[in-house]
Structure 1
Amino acid sequence: MAEACRIGLLNAQIVGVAIDRSLPLAARLADLGIPCYLVDHQASESRAAFDQGLAEALSGSQADLTFLTFNRLIGPDVLAACRRRILNLHMALLPLFPGFGALRAALRSGMRVAGVTIHVVDDTVDGGAIIAQGICPIYPGDTEALLGRRLFETALPLVMQCVRWSASADLIITSDGLPIWKRDNLQMGPRHFPGVDADITAFSDEFCNQLP
């Protein structure tokens, strides 16, 4: 994402990243000049204290849009701090398999396809308005690791596309957490719904092909 912003593929700027534990990612963010906020969930006295600390970190960034990619419930302080303009990446085709353990549930279900969902975050568990979804196959013998890698490759271009929609105001998330589309000609892709622009797809494919 940072590279996509740097080369101008996305007309956006990452103004901060919040993490809930010490990660090597922090050093990489420092090299890129991106603020990193550590809100240690283990050091927090309670879930409410963690939520308050995360809210303070996010409100300080003054971001127009916040993306969640970690498996933790957030509370009212974070929702208020981000003016409810929060999107979450969930590794399942909602409304199927909400909550934790979505990959395991998909593998056990007998389904032939799995998917990812980007949705607005509200005070429910993965129940906010769905913005976009993507699908990928489930192969015989798949493990959580194999399916997880395929889902990541499915999710990356969709996340980038949502950032582009937001930056261009084609997609607006209101302070009430409601999505408003400014376009009525969204195309549906073979794997992503709505579809992903060709330049984002090419960038994402190249990035994923370089991963070990």
Structure 2
Amino acid sequence: MLFKCIDQQFHAGDIYQIAGPNGAGKTTLLKIVVGLIPALEGKVQWTFKQQPAAVCESLLYFGHQPAVNTSLTATENLRWYFGLNGTKSLDAAQYPSKSAFSAALDKVGLAGYEDVLCFQMSAGQQRRVALARLYLSDAPLWVLDEPFTAIDTRGVAALEQRIGEHANKGGIVLLTSHQALSLPGVKMLDLANFVPSEAA
């Protein structure tokens, strides 16, 4: 068991950084929160009806892997993401426009890559395609696993700004990062405080 007895509420407008050494269970905790793996004990309680579709539409998850389909273009990947999250049922006025997808890619330094197949991109560029979702998503909860990996200093600053904007609008951000954030008011959750006694 990596950790136990975590009793934590995540509130609208707050940013939480999960801390701990390698192997402490940071990624595991995030996967439990989003429902990718079950907790051995306890549960994650949402403030809305716990239907899978409702949970999916209420969160954005960014994992270690970029989760892009390399046989699709950058724009097609973003459209595919919105389809997976139930947004395909939205009418044309609500669905992100082509210009919105282009603007999101521009925000992550991929202007001009809209129609480039992702298998032709570097690993870092594929990761930025995935990060472009943050500029399109209104999901209340963002769960981000090492979002700053392979991002240059300018990109880190832009991403921090976007995370801050989301929190200022009442969103919740739960993330892991090996670097200190320059965002104000970040709340720390250190998994070292929840190590089972037999593993300490």
TM-score calculated relative to the size of structure 1: 0.30
RCO higher in structure (CA 8 A, sep ≥6):
2
Q: Which structure has greater strand proportion?
A: 1
